[in-house]
Amino acid sequence: MTSRISGFHKLDQKERLRTLSLSERAAQQLSATGVSFGELAEHMVENAIGTMPIPLGVATNVRVDGEDVLVPMATEESSVVAAVCNSARQCYEADGVTTEATDPLMIAQIQILDLQDPFVAKSGVLAKKREIKALCDELDPILVKLGGGLEDVEARVIDSDRGAMLVVHIVVNVLDAMGANAVNTMAEALAPKLAAWTGGRTLLRILSNLADKRLVKATVCFDPQAIGGDEVRERILDAAEFAWVDPYRAATHNKGIMNGISAVALATGNDTRALESGAHAFAARDGQYRALSRWHAGESGSLVGTLELPMAVGIVGGATKAHPIAQANLEIMKIETADRLARVIAAVGLLQNFGALKALATVGIQKGHMALHARNVAIAAGAEGNEIDLVADYLVSEGKVRQDIAETKLNELRA
**Residues acting as catalytic residues:** 77, 255, 271, 369
Q: Does 365 bind ligand MEV (CB under 6 A)?
A: yes
C-alpha dist (Å) from residue 358 to 136, 168, 364, 366? 48, 44, 8, 13
> In this complex, which beta carbon is closest to ligand MEV, that of residue 360 or of residue 379?
360
Task: Tell me which residue of 192, 208, 326 sits closest to 277, measured CA to CA.
Answer: 208
> In this complex, which beta carbon is closest to ligand MEV, that of residue 330 or of residue 370?
370
> In this complex, which beta carbon is closest to ligand MEV, that of residue 278 or of residue 349?
349
C-alpha dist (Å) from residue 176 to 179, 194, 314, 378? 8, 28, 5, 43
CA dist., res. 342 & res. 404, Å (int): 43
Residue nearest to ligand MEV (CB): 256
Size (the chain), residues: 415
φ and ψ of 353, to 5 deg: -65, -45
CA dist., res. 173 & res. 187, Å (int): 14
Number of residues that bind ligand MEV (CB under 6 A): 9
3 state DSSP class of 277: helix
Q: Does 128 bind ligand MEV (CB under 6 A)?
A: no
What is the nearest approach in angstroms of ligand MEV to the Cβ of residue 376? 14
Q: Does 376 bind ligand MEV (CB under 6 A)?
A: no
Asked if residues 379 and 388 have their Cβ atoms less than 8 Å apart, the reply is: yes
DSSP characters over 228-259:
T-HHHHHHHHHHHHHHHH-HHHHHHHHHHHHH
> In this complex, which beta carbon is closest to ligand MEV, that of residue 205 or of residue 358?
358
What is the nearest approach in angstroms of ligand MEV to the Cβ of residue 292? 11
Q: Report the side by side order of strands in the sheet with 165-173.
A: 149-158, 165-173, 105-113, 201-207
Angle subtended by helix axes 80-92 and 366-380, to nearest 10 = 150
> In this complex, which beta carbon is closest to ligand MEV, that of residue 178 or of residue 239?
239
Asked if residues 357 and 303 have their Cβ atoms less than 8 Å apart, the reply is: no
**List 292, 356, 361, 378, residue binding ligand MEV (CB under 6 A):** 356
> In this complex, which beta carbon is closest to ligand MEV, that of residue 169 or of residue 253?
253
**Binding to ligand MEV (CB under 6 A): which residues in 61-100?**
77
Give the x/- contact pattern for ligand MEV in 209-248, rule: CB under 6 A. ----------------------------------------
CA dist., res. 291 & res. 254, Å (int): 6
Give the x/- contact pattern for ligand MEV in 251-270, rule: CB under 6 A. -xx-xx--x-----------
DSSP characters over 131-168:
HHHHHHHHT-HHHHHTT-EEEEEEEEEE--TT--EEEE
> In this complex, which beta carbon is closest to ligand MEV, that of residue 240 or of residue 311?
240
30's enclosing H/E stretch is helix 24-44
**Binding to ligand MEV (CB under 6 A): which residues in 24-63?**
none
φ and ψ of 380, to 5 deg: -60, -30
Chain-centroid distance of CA 361 in Å reads 25
What is the nearest approach in angstroms of ligand MEV to the Cβ of residue 54? 15
**Segment interacting with ligand MEV, rule: CB under 6 A, options 131-139, 158-166, 250-258, 373-381:** 250-258
What is the nearest approach in angstroms of ligand MEV to the Cβ of residue 295? 12
What is the nearest approach in angstroms of ligand MEV to the Cβ of residue 252? 4
What is the nearest approach in angstroms of ligand MEV to the Cβ of residue 369? 8
Q: What is the CA radius of gyration of the chain?
A: 25
Give me the residues that bind ligand MEV (CB under 6 A), please. 77, 252-253, 255-256, 259, 356, 360, 365
